[in-house]
Amino acid sequence: MAHTEMMNIALNRVEGDLEVRVGIEDGVVTDAWSSGIMYRGFERILIGRAALDALVITPRICGICSTAQLAAACQALEMIAQVEPAPSAVLLRNVLLMTEQLQSDMRHTFLMFCPDFANPIYSNHPLFQEAVNRYEPLRGKAALETIQETRKVLEIVALIGGQWPHSSYMVPGGITSVPSKSDLMQCRLLLSRFRKWYEARVLGCDLDRWSEVKSASDLDAWLEEKASQRESELGFYLRFARSIGLPSLGRGHSNFVSYGSLPMPAGTSVKTVNGSELLIPSGFVCGAQRQMFNQEKIAEDISFAWYRDNGDPKHPFSGDTLPYATGNEGVKYSWTKAPRYDGKPAETGPLAEMLISENPLFMDLVSAEGPNSFVRQLARIVRLAYFLPVMEKWLSEASQGDTFYHFVEEIDEGEGMGLVHGARGALGHWVKVAGGEIQHYQIITPTAWNASPRDGSVTRGPWEEALIGTRLKDLNNPLELGHIVRSFDACMVCAVHTISNNSNRPPGILIC
Amino acid sequence: MAKTLFWLQCGGCGGDSMSMLNSESPDLPEFLEIFEVELLWHPSFSNRSLADYQLLLSQLCSGDRKLDFLCVEGSLIRGPGGTGMYDTLFGLPKKDLLGNLVSRADTVLAVGTCASFGGIGADGEVEAMGLQFHKSQKGGFLSETFKTKSGLPVINLPGCPCHCEAVKGVLAAIISGMEIPLNAHNMPLEYYGMTIHQGCTRNEYHEYRVEEHNFGERGCLFFHLGCHGPLVYGPCNKLLWNGRSSKTRVGVPCFGCTRPDFPQAYPFFRTRNIEGIPLELPDGVDRAHYLAYKGMAAAAAPQRLKTRKTWV
């Protein structure tokens, strides 16, 4: 009889600490449980506070995506106030949200994901020394450049919004500031500097050349075309990731959700897919089947989460967040609830965005090999190639504007939702206000979608499912599990450790 | 010999670590190199194996390995019911590990308001508190009289997030053998000896009491929009954020995030007032004289300010 061994993989936090427990038979993962191990109680801190206070409290949920939290809170309050923000403010809010995503995508890739390639487990790999030279923490060339360039590009957020992280410049009606032409010119220069770095060092080609890569075979041809492309960070990623079999890891459920994000400002020259009102369209993909997105189909299941049971899964307008630690009862295992779309678990993030916006390269890659960790991380590395030209246009259009705020009366009563995409995907705030005070606040973070525990039908969450079937080369250093979970961009930090019930083995590994 | 630094994240958002990446001249890697600081562990930047990490922790906890600096980010989470199990590491409450590390470290820095005073979770069900304060009350997770091996109390570097220059500056000062003068909340005067108001580009509007009721204007935010700039201490408008700006400069009120009572229980965007005059006046002023001064200032306000013609 096969011996099942249990391992615990602890994932550090930003939006919540995570721990994943896996069952292993003959070196293959046969089951997985994803467990949020930190409770911070944000939703209940907001109850009874003035409506606008959400703009100050919610960015503090996450140090790396505070702009996305601010945008979601602001959009929910705007719906309650029934106000349209000033068009020039919409342009700038979009640009600032996208700037945060550039930062996050690059830091995640080069400070969190790729350092795994410099793990000693690959010390016999022919590209190992090169991986160390590029990704060694605080020393590697790509790591140092990423720190420098992401720092610079975030100055765009500070010029318009005062600081990054944790500002509250998006308010119902627009933004608080009146940026000068010179402020906006500075933003354009900073973006153009970032673009130069991204083209020269990350892609190894200009954005126009990259935009011609529309299929798996185009990608292969691109890689072999020039030394600058082969040797770029993307070129190295493609070579290294394929050589270690990353495309065979982390398949998952093949369900994807996007709430849609980045509203198209009035009069913009930017064009969207199928004339969508959002640059990132909304949608739900279930295998080959595509559906229109309807937020009413979202429900949170707490069958396996440490919250007080209140009947069937609830839509976030009617659900609550009442912590209920059961100790060792053994059923509940996470502080993360299980969000479901139409009863199904769904993955969110850059790959979901690529598929729902019908990006030909990613449609082709996924139809050939299915979703996997390789393609998931690839989507994160190249997402900004599609963002940068749009950001440039929007900054230039904002320079023509002079109104950045529409007056809003006191926000007194009503319900609203803010659905946006942060770097990690779909983020939603569902809010009810009465007598000027917050009565109800429910937040579903992207990581809640990706890291969700089982639901009432005992269906696993996305990365629980993605771990199943993974063959581990070295049980003492199960780096494959780190690759898979990290390809979902599990917040900022992933610390992976194993606890073995075979006491002769070392306790395991921790990867950051 | 290199100084060692261990960075522990407790109940927080990681924003203080992100703030460290805002550093320039020197940036974080350059700083560590120049001052010969060995970063033993940081949850975002380190790449150690678990065996290594656990060995390191046991060496630090037993005193076999010296620990010069312990930086703590995030609050001490005591909930539920004092168990600390809302925030764990390797299945144990993180507060237990912290209790050991603070007794071994030469110097302890509480980085950010959560670690200093409890911050976001201090009034919540997670029962958060700061290292040596619970909000403004002395004595938090550690007693009021606690001193680290260097003889200093926990040095508080509040802010949500903490400004990166405060962290680098205090580390550099200690390494260079300089004194760190502290205020009553154990905050270094070098970084918390000036109000947020000092250096705000809206100061002239403030001076003549040209005060805003709405967003999107150029005037002062103190009288009506909840700004804590003249009340609270911190380097935001001296050192600026991301090398560029600050919240107050772009029309976002200062929320007083360096103060031990942050997040305050009252609304952030509305100044508490008596007859239209803020309840809390700039630190140390006499109310009667302030009223007289503000009345005269408003009467003297030039037209260019009243019509918001002066840029900020």
Helix (H) or strand (E) holding B283: none
Nearest alpha-carbon partner for A288 in A371, A232, A345, A225: A371
Residue B160 sits at the chain A interface (C-beta within 8 Å): yes
**Interchain CB distance below 8 Å, B50 and A496:** yes
Q: Are B49 and A509 in contact (CB under 8 A)?
A: yes
pLDDT digits (tens, 9 = 90+) for A2-52: 577 777 765 543 334 567 788 999 999 999 988 776 677 788 889 999 999
Give Cβ neighbours of residue B34 (< 8 Å, ≥ 6 apart). B26
Q: Are A418 and A170 in contact (CB under 8 A)?
A: no
Biggest CA–CA distance in chain B, Å, is: 70
Sheet holding B3-9, edge to edge: B37-41, B3-9, B67-73, B105-111, B155-157
- Which 61-90 residues of chain A touch chain B by CB within 8 A? 61-64, 66
Q: Which CATH superfamily is domain B3-190 in?
A: NADH:ubiquinone oxidoreductase-like, 20kDa subunit (3.40.50.700)
Here the tokens at position B51 are: 């065996």
Nearest alpha-carbon partner for A354 in A384, A379, A371, A382: A379
A506: pLDDT confidence band, cut at 50, 70 and 90? very low
User: Given A63, A148, A407, which is nearest B18 (Cβ)?
Assistant: A63
pLDDT > 70? residue A494: no
Q: Which residues of A touch B54 (CB under 8 A)?
A: 507, 510
pLDDT digits (tens, 9 = 90+) for B201-210: 999 999 999 9
**Interchain CB distance below 8 Å, B252 and A161:** yes
Q: Determine which of A450-464, B39-53, B190-204, B252-266 has the lowest per-residue pLDDT on average.
A: B39-53
Here the tokens at position B72 are: 């703590």
Neighbouring CB atoms inside 10 A of B120's CB total: 26
Nearest alpha-carbon partner for A14 in B161, B142, B102, B61: B161
**Domains, chain A, ordered by start:** 4-487 (1.10.645.10)
Residue B271 sits at the chain A interface (C-beta within 8 Å): no
Q: Which residues of A touch B263 (CB under 8 A)?
A: 45, 56-57
d(CA B218, CA A66): 25
Name which of B27, B244, B308 to mutate to probe chain A: the one with the most chain A Cβ atoms within 10 A of its Cβ: B244
CA atoms within 13 A on the CB side of A245: 11
Q: Which residues of A touch B12 (CB under 8 A)?
A: 63
> Which ranges constitute the DSSP H helices of A311-451?
350-356, 360-369, 373-398, 446-450
Q: Which residues of B touch A66 (CB under 8 A)?
A: 13, 15
**Interchain CB distance below 8 Å, A63 and B267:** no
Q: Which residues of A touch B216 (CB under 8 A)?
A: 173-178, 404-405
Which pLDDT value is given to residue A495? 27
Neighbouring CB atoms inside 10 A of A43's CB total: 22
Residue A139 sits at the chain B interface (C-beta within 8 Å): yes
Which pLDDT value is given to residue A329? 56
Percentage of chain B exceeding pLDDT 90: 83
Residue A233 sits at the chain B interface (C-beta within 8 Å): no
Residue A153 sits at the chain B interface (C-beta within 8 Å): no
d(CA B312, CA B308): 9
Residue B81 sits at the chain A interface (C-beta within 8 Å): no
Percentage of chain A exceeding pLDDT 90: 73
pLDDT > 60? residue A474: yes
A502: pLDDT confidence band, cut at 50, 70 and 90? very low
User: Given A151, A165, A169, which is nearest B252 (Cβ)?
Assistant: A169
ipTM reported for the complex, 2 dp: 0.97
Q: Which residues of B touch A138 (CB under 8 A)?
A: 28-29, 32, 39, 45
Which pLDDT value is given to residue B124? 80
Instruction: For residue A423, give the DSSP letter.
Output: T
What is the torsion angle, in degrees rounded to the nearest 10, for the CA atoms of residue B113, residue B115, residue B120 and residue B124?
Answer: -140
**Interchain CB distance below 8 Å, A60 and B250:** no
Q: Which residues of B touch A14 (CB under 8 A)?
A: 13-14
Distance in angstroms between the alpha carbons of the first and the last residue of chain A: 35
CATH class in words for B194-312 = few secondary structures
Instruction: Give Cα separations from B130 to B117, B140, B142, B260 (angstroms).
Output: 4, 6, 9, 9
Nearest residue of B to residue A490, measured between CA atoms: B44
| The pairing of beta strand B105-111 with beta strand B155-157 | parallel
| The pairing of beta strand B3-9 with beta strand B37-41 | parallel
Nearest alpha-carbon partner for B25 in B297, B294, B285, B242: B242
Here the tokens at position B129 are: 């508190």
Q: Which residues of A touch B19 (CB under 8 A)?
A: 63, 165
Sign of CA dihedral B82, B86, B91, B92: negative
Q: How many helices (H) and strands (E) does chain A have?
A: 18, 15
Which pLDDT value is given to residue B80? 83
**Position with higher pLDDT, A337 vs B51:** A337
Residue A164 sits at the chain B interface (C-beta within 8 Å): yes
Asked whether this chain's domains B3-190 and B194-312 adopt the same fold, the reply is no
**Interchain CB distance below 8 Å, A41 and B216:** no
* Mean pLDDT in residue range B96-102: 93
Which pLDDT value is given to residue A500? 29
Q: Which residues of B touch A7 (CB under 8 A)?
A: none
Angle in degrees, CA A101, A230, A359, rounded to 5:
45
* Mean pLDDT in residue range B296-305: 98
Q: To the nearest whole angstrom, how far is the Cα of B92 from the nearest Cα of chain A? A: 11
pLDDT digits (tens, 9 = 90+) for A76-127: 999 999 999 999 999 999 999 999 999 999 999 999 899 989 988 899 999 9
**Interchain CB distance below 8 Å, B250 and A161:** yes
Strands (E), A81-191: 170-171, 174-175
**Position with higher pLDDT, A359 vs A448:** A359
User: Given A50, A139, A163, which is nearest B245 (Cβ)?
Assistant: A163
Which pLDDT value is given to residue A330? 65
Residue A411 phi/psi, 5° resolution?
-85, 110
Residue B85 sits at the chain A interface (C-beta within 8 Å): yes
Residue pairs between chains A and B whose CB atoms are closer than 8 Å: 235
Here the tokens at position B189 are: 């005067």
Q: What residue spans define the domains of chain B?
A: 3-190, 194-312
Which residues are paired to B258 by β-bridges? none
Which pLDDT value is given to residue B212? 97
Q: To the nearest whole angstrom, how far is the Cα of A345 from the nearest Cα of chain B? A: 26
In the chain, the amino acid numbered B34 is I
pLDDT > 50? residue A493: no
Angle in degrees, CA B162, B164, B165, rounded to 5:
115
Which pLDDT value is given to residue A324? 75
